[in-house]
Structure 1
Amino acid sequence: MLGSFSKLRKKKAALIVFHQSCSWFGFLTILFHILLLLKDQYVPYSVKQLLVPFLAENKPLFSGLGTLSFYLFFLVIGSSDFLMKKLGRKNWRKLHFAVIPAWGLSVVHGIGIGTDSTEPWAQLLYTAGIMVILIVGILRYIESVVIRHQSKRGKPINE
């Protein structure tokens, strides 16, 4: 979302590297989370319960949302690094937007089943993350409206 801001277009290459690094770090964190759940003695999960949505005995709805979120993230990161050229930019871009529901499902998953979700620091992290995404999304929408309005009036864009 940041890369589409007109003021940040000159820094797009650096933003792409940052974006890809964060994507892989997040994906590896999810895999680590899954591996930890396999070893958890307090609330045990089987491989099947982790891979089949809504099959887990512990809070099946929230567990299932986490599994669906994982699959969406996997689809996005896999298509970005391995299938982008085969899909073509237009189709890849459409598929890339699956990250939005993936993120939303992961937030609901974390709030609903996270063992630390009632802790003030966790609530602060959830709230801050949600607010950042909302604010950046709103600012991006406002900028697109302003640019569209300026282009209709024949005024130069980005002045």
Structure 2
Amino acid sequence: MNDYLSTWTLIRASGFLAYYLLTLSLGIGLLSTISIMKKKKGILIQLHQFSGWTGFLTIIFHILLLWRDSYAPYSLAELFVPFGAKNEPLLSGLGTLSFYLFLIVLGSGDFFMKKLGKLWKRIHMLVFPAWLLMCIHGMAIGTDSSEPWALLIYAIGISFILVLGFLRKVDKKILKQAANSK
């Protein structure tokens, strides 16, 4: 098989693609809460949901490839039971936990948002630990993670989220001060 289409290459590519898409979804979600983006909130929410679900489906593709890999195959139990993998149990387990947290966030948001009411927002905040666990999993277990291009991908994604998180916090503080001065 061509090296560019080998299972190993697809496992690595799907991991990076999932990281990119879920980082994009988280960033767009943060951006949509900033007051100057109110007029664009509808399109931002659509992009947030699309990139989130596409990223999650990419994780499923990543898992299926790991299961079918002939070099270092994972059993279904190793893939779905946190910390049960023979290969890097801690780091694999962090990836598994991240998968479950993203599943809870996506499932509660799209299917139970109205029924959950205010509880939905608390559940939705699980996206932050899910994203962090995904980052740790990818940076620590990824075979390319020490490569300069991979470090750059992680650095850009992490910086993107930190800057948007900071802007969101500043925006909320400004809005609160404006409300208090009225």
TM-score range, shorter chain: over 0.9
The size of the alignment, in residue pairs, is 153
Instruction: Return the offset for 1:82.
Output: 1.4
Runs of 4+ in 1 over 2 A off after TM superposition: none
One of 29, 38, 46 as aligned partner of 2:67: 38
Residue segments in structure 2 that go unaligned for 5+ positions in a row: 1-29
The structure with higher relative contact order (CA 8 Å, sep 6+) is 2
Q: Quick check: 1:132 aligned with 2:160?
A: yes
Letter in 1 for 2:75: S
The match for 1:145 is 173
The match for 1:63 is 92
Residue segments in structure 1 that go unaligned for 5+ positions in a row: 155-159
Instruction: Return the offset for 1:42.
Output: 2.1
Identity between Structure 1 and Structure 2 (%)? 54
One of 12, 23, 32 as aligned partner of 2:52: 23
The match for 1:109 is 137
The match for 1:100 is 128
Q: Secondary structure at the match of 1:4?
A: coil
The match for 1:157 is none
Distance 1:151 1:80 in 2: 29
Deviations 1:25-77 (A, max 9, x none): 11001000000101112221100000000010111110000000000000111
One of 62, 66, 75 as aligned partner of 2:104: 75
Instruction: Return the offset for 1:85.
Output: 2.2
Instruction: Return the offset for 1:150.
Output: 2.1
Alpha-carbon RMSD across the aligned residues, in angstroms, is 0.9
Distance 1:152 1:82 in 2: 36
Letter in 2 for 1:136: L
